[in-house]
């Protein structure tokens, strides 16, 4: 009875430690993986992993669940799998703990750009599935089921970018003003297109410092 109770307690302790590891170590590692807000190449991922393992200041590495490592025993074998009229080779894994499964699942995902990511709007985790990279999930927004975090998040990101960039902010305001003139028939479509091309050229020169901000601001409002 004592041996059985001890084994049960050990399994429970390992399960709790695996959960703690996901919340602390895995979350910290994924934050570094997403630092550029885009998918990384395999070499970049490997370098981040190397630096993360070498940097022991963040967690201390004094306990087993402070390490980015699997728990328990696991094994890998290969088996043939028949699908319709052809046979393929498959990898088969056996895990003694949930921590071992999560470890393999994380790094298999990294190889294929299937990445867990915390939504920049609702704060909950979602899975990027090797499609277009996004910092926001597709869950409906609370109180507005027609909109998702991705819809509102991308608008907010662009609005923040505009508000923190005087050149882009000036361009956006001027574009809206000229578009309003076009909608009110005070500019023809051809005139608006000419102005739009001219505005993009001015914006480019402002970014390259060919025009000072004051000159750029005056010209784009003409």
Those residues with Cβ within 8 angstroms of residue 171's Cβ, 6 or more apart along the chain or in another chain: 199, 202, 203, 220
What is residue 43's predicted lDDT score, i.e. its pLDDT? Answer: 93
- Return all residues near 138 (Cβ < 8 A) that are at least 6 apart: 126, 148, 149, 150
Res 157: pLDDT? 81
Q: Are residues 169 and 104 in the same domain?
A: no
Supply the pLDDT for residue 65.
72
pLDDT of 59 reads: 52
In a domain, 7, yes or no: yes
- Give the model's pLDDT for residue 7: 87
pLDDT at 142: 85
Cα 77 from chain centroid (whole Å): 32
In terms of residue numbers, what domain contains 75? 2-112
The DSSP code sequence of 32-96 is: HHTTTSSPPPHHHHHHHHHHHHH--TTT-S-SGGGSS---S-EEEEEEEEEETTEEEEEEEEEES
Report DSSP letters for 92-105, one per residue.
Answer: EEEESSHHHHHHHH
Q: Is residue 10 part of a domain?
A: yes
- Rounded to whole angstroms, the Cα distance separating 167 from 207 reads 8
Report if residue 17 sits inside a domain.
yes
Q: Which DSSP letter does residue 165 get? A: -
Structural domain contains residue 135? no
Instruction: Give me the number of domains the chain comprises.
Output: 2
What pLDDT does residue 146 have? Answer: 87
105 within a domain of the structure (yes/no): yes
Same domain for 95 and 33: yes
Could you tell me if residue 9 is inside a domain?
yes
Would you state the pLDDT for residue 88? 94
10-residue mean pLDDT series, the chain (222 residues): 89 92 92 92 93 70 72 92 92 93 94 93 93 92 88 85 89 91 90 91 92 92 82
- Residue 126 counted as domain residue: no
Q: Maximum Cα–Cα distance for the chain, whole Å?
A: 89
Does residue 177 lie in a domain region?
A: yes
């Amino acid at each position: 009875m004592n041996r059985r109770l001890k084994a049960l307690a050990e399994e429970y302790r390992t399960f709790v430690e695996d959960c703690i590891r996901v919340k602390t170590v895995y979350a910290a590692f994924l934050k570094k993986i997403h630092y550029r807000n885009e998918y990384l190449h395999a070499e970049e991922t490997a370098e981040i992993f190397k630096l993360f393992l070498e940097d022991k200041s963040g967690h201390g590495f004094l306990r087993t669940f402070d390490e980015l490592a699997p728990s328990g025993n696991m094994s890998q074998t290969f088996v043939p799998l028949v699908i319709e009229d052809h046979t393929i080779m498959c990898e088969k894994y056996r895990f003694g703990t949930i921590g071992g499964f999560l470890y393999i699942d994380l790094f298999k995902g990294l190889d294929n750009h299937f990445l867990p990511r915390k939504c920049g709007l609702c704060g909950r985790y979602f899975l990027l599935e090797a499609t277009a990279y996004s910092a926001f999930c597709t869950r409906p927004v609370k109180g507005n089921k027609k909109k998702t975090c991705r819809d509102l998040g991308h608008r907010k990101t662009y609005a923040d970018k505009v508000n923190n960039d005087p050149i882009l902010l000036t361009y956006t305001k001027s574009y809206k003003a000229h578009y309003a003139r076009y909608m009110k028939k005070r500019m023809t479509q051809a005139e608006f297109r000419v102005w739009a091309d001219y505005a993009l050229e001015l914006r480019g020169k402002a970014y390259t410092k060919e025009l000072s901000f004051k000159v750029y601001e005056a010209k784009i409002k003409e």
